[in-house]
Amino acid sequence: MTIDMESVVGSFAENKDLARDLRRQSIEPALAAGETVILNFAGVTGATQSFVHAMMSELIRTYGEDLFDKVLFQKCSAAVQEVVETVAEYMLESL
């Protein structure tokens, strides 16, 4: 499954409610069904750490580093990539 992030969050990802809903309503069910999820960030210039945390932290707690075999990040700007890596790093450190 591929999720077009820009259509969900616009050009800047900061709304944690949307992040939580996206995780609960789309990503978690897809992962539970054994699907690979591609988050396509084309058109999204930036994201807050809070947004990415709300979208990813529980998934990292559940799947650990194996999550990154199941969820792929596509067409990320350098800023988005840095924030995703930040959240991944501190969550994996926290486990």
Partner 1 sequence: MKIHLSNSDFLRTFERFVRTFDPSEPHVLDVTTHDKWVSVHPAVLAMVAALGRQVPKENVRLDDVTAASGHYLDRMGLFAALGKESPYSIVKHESAGRFIPLTQIRTSQEQTRFISEMIPILHLLPDQADAIKYVVGELVRNVLEHAEASSGAFVALQYHSKNNMVRLGIADTGIGIMSSISRSWRIRGEAEAIRLALTPGVTGTTRREGGTETNAGAGLFFIKSMAVVSRDQFVIYSGSGLYKLLMRDKRIKGFPTLHANPFLDRHRWTEGLPYFKGTVVAVDLSLGQTPEFVALLAAIRAAYSSAIRERKKAGVKMPRFID
Judged by CB under 8 A, the chain residues 8 through 37 that form the site for partner 1 are 10-12, 14-17, 20
The residue among 37 and 47 lying less far from partner 1, judged by its C-beta, is: 47
Q: How far is the CB of 95 from partner 1 (least distance, A)?
A: 7
Among 59, 39, 49, which residue's Cα sits nearest to residue 85? Answer: 49
- Rounded CA gap, 82 and 66, in Å? 19
Q: Which of 46, 63, 70, 75 binds partner 1 (CB under 8 A)?
A: 46
CA dist list (Å): 5 to 55, 61, 62, 95: 12, 22, 22, 27
Asked if 58 and 24 count as a contact pair (C-beta separation under 8 A), the reply is no
Q: Is 66 in the site for partner 1 (CB under 8 A)?
A: no
3-class SS at 20?
Answer: helix
Where does this chain bind partner 1 (CB under 8 A)?
10-12, 14-17, 20, 45-46, 48-51, 53-54, 57-58, 61, 78-79, 82-83, 85-87, 89-91, 93-95
